[in-house]
Amino acid sequence: MSQLHVVDHPLIQHKLTIIRDKHTGSKIFRELVSEISMLLSYEVMRELPTEEKEIETPITTAKTKVLSGKKLGLIPILRAGLGMLESVRDIVPAARVGHIGVYRDPETLNPVEYYCKLPQDIHERELIVMDPMLATGGSAVASIQFIKDRGGKNIRFMCINAAPEGIEELQKAHPDVDIWTCSVDEKLNEHGYIIPGLGDAGDRLFGTK
Ligand code: URA
């Protein structure tokens, strides 16, 4: 079974309260989603391997650590995942970026991939899939399956707000994928929104309705 990591840091919780507030406008919402994502990604990447490197400081030589050449891939799920991407990319600029978009076929209710562009060497990369909301889990489960079908192996999932139902679905479908979130809420409502949640993250990020 995959591990669930709830990152309960005061800075994150403070910012999360502001984005949950319906009076928070799109500009602040976008900025805070970005800041929260960067803070959260710090935990998501905690276990990345390092190796020793000898360098010269202005004073002497020193043996210090650098990331040990593990290649990273960041994959936002369209479209709300885009709001998480840039701040994470800022701290790991060598990471390659893939994009994936899925929608639910209204008749079959099966998830359908409508866009997918991933780094060519995806099988060699540590992949971080991101979407602010893990609600029913449908898009996360399907997106991760599409990524695996193309050779993706080492996959982590990060979100800002999760419902117990989505966590269960994702853990059941992909027991090898650990999940990082800032909050686990009560449940989903009948429309698939997280309660209390923060509304439609994509709409709030992009100012649509
Ligand atoms: N997607 C969202 O943006 N919000 C929810 O509450 C559920 C899914």
Structural domains of the chain, ranges and CATH numbers in brackets: 4-206 (3.40.50.2020)
Q: What is the DSSP string of 78-113?
A: TTTTHHHHHHHHHHSTT-EE-EEEEEE-TTT--EEE
Mean pLDDT of 125-143: 97
**Is 99's pLDDT higher than 90?**
yes
Q: Which atom of ligand 1 is nearest to the CA of 198?
A: 6
**From the CA of 203, how far away is ligand 1's center (Å)?**
9
Mean pLDDT of 149-161: 97
Tell me if 202 CB under 6 Å of ligand 1.
Answer: yes
Residue 195: what pLDDT?
98
Q: In this prediction, what percent of the chain has a pLDDT beyond 90?
A: 93
- Pick from 27-36, 96-105, 141-150, 168-177: least confident: 96-105
Model confidence at 177, pLDDT cuts 50, 70, 90, reads very high
Residue 107: what pLDDT?
79
Q: Quick check: ipTM above 0.85?
A: yes
In 3-state terms, the chain is what percent helix, strand and coil (to 5)? 35, 30, 35
Mean pLDDT of 63-85: 95
**Which residue's CA is the closest to the ligand 1 atom numbered 3?**
200
Q: In this prediction, what percent of the chain has a pLDDT beyond 70?
A: 100
Q: Which atom of ligand 1 is nearest to the CA of 197?
A: 6
**Is 1's pLDDT higher than 90?**
no
Residue 118: what pLDDT?
98
